[in-house]
Structure 1
Amino acid sequence: MKNILIPIDFSDNAMNALGYATKLFEASQCTFILLNVYVSQASNMLSEERNEAILNVMDDESEIELKKIFDSVVEANNNGLHTFKMVSKSGKIAPIINSMVASGSIDFVVMATKGAKGAREVFLGSNAVRVINGVDKCPIIVVPQNYQVRKPKMIAFSTNFKRTFYQEELRTLIDILKNQNAKLNVARVMIDDAMNDKQKNNREKLKKILEDIDHIFYKIDIESTETKALKDFAQQTDCDMIALIHHKFSLFQKLLEEDVVDKISFSSPIPLLILPELY
């Protein structure tokens, strides 16, 4: 049984992300948890009674609107493997999701890149990237705005082979590849033409992990940025998903290196599978 968390802000984009999740996991027994997070904060300018009244209204509105979505989703569902739950919480989205993940009740987060206002600075610049950077030890799938839902048949996995690979970190990617009978394009995105001994060893470890997967290794030339090179590669090879391991860069490294996970999220034409760094 998989527990899939879907952040719901009552936008079409969030519902599209839910549709993608149910399609991706249609052959798996899943519980989809529809989560609405809203800001509910007392004001120092108002009396305690007035604050309580306002906050109660916000609580009720969130639950009422979420219940409407929940009821429509349950009514439309025709997959006996799928069940649905709804959760309405006040606070900040990343800490709330992180707490649910830490409790062991979440296996996946699937979310839209843009919310109700449709501005990337409003939704992705805040919520999606905050979830990506703030949620530990949980795979996250980010679904682009207006993405036409389809199952992945070709997945691009980006790496520069600078760190070793672990079976557990790639388990989610491998499971998706096997369940979807999909192929994997391993994209080596780096400026240097030649790999050093450490990178070669890491490549051999990856080959071993992927021995049961239909995969091909590619070297990508970077003409402008790593982000653009990866997006162009995915488009040219007809990939339906881009997978990356979200390395926890140090502050100094972040100043020097392009953070591909954050930047490609803003305009990726296909879903992103963001795998947590576990070691």
Structure 2
Amino acid sequence: MDAEKHSSQTALFAAAARAAHPLVDNRPHLLSDEVAQRLCRTASPSPLDYQLSQPGSPVLAAARLASCTRARFAEAVVSETQADQVLLLGAGLDTVANRRPAAPPVSVWAADRPDVLSWRSRLFHEAGLNDRARCVPADLAAGLDLEDLEAAGMDLRRPVLALWLGVSMYLTPERCRDFIGELAALPAGSRVVVDYHLSPEHRDEAGRAYAQAVAAMAGHAGEPWQCSTAPGTVAGWFVGHGWRVELDVDEAAATPEGFFDRQEHLSPMRLVRLLHAVR
């Protein structure tokens, strides 16, 4: 089997961005992901090497900002809400299950395409790591079957925190809207954290340049960007399906105060927004 054919190059690109951030950027760091560093080292050539050799590349720096900011934002919601059931939608190489402290205990499920989950498992094995997330095969473009989650041990009588990161832009707008409705079948009190892209007219120059570069790469890898909207549109989709939007902000607003003042390579970019909704 051609392992490269069944990998997700965008997931590897995001993992390398998280891995590189504490190695090449100034403090304060948004997060530290040593697990991602080990996963990236299993690939040859490693995408982490590109990050380390060209930390000032605008595309690579913007990838570090986007990947780390959304992960930090999501993990803050996990901590603040004391969620003990976390669902990774389009998990890729998300490492939150391995980076969470042992107490309080959190159960994590990783939902993604079967081929991507097999690739994920192989990388964890080659890195000498035990993947603490429970894998649930699912093609989000076709829907999410809650019975599959229940069969994998999720208690659907209690709230679930779904982290839908780095995925919405790869679905069509119609599929994104419908998927939000499908998630409304989760138990009352459940939450969703999602990142989404602004449409071209709402981006700044840095956002447009990054979008152009990464969209070309993602499309070449067979994972083209399809969904981008005006601010407030995705929030409207959530509200229309019975969710309450807690927060809907530009990526830069989710960084610590004064963060960019200390950074050599990272700067604000208007492309990505982060949303937190509750049932």
Q: TM-score, normalised by structure 2?
A: 0.33
Higher strand share: 1
Larger Cα-atom Rg: 1
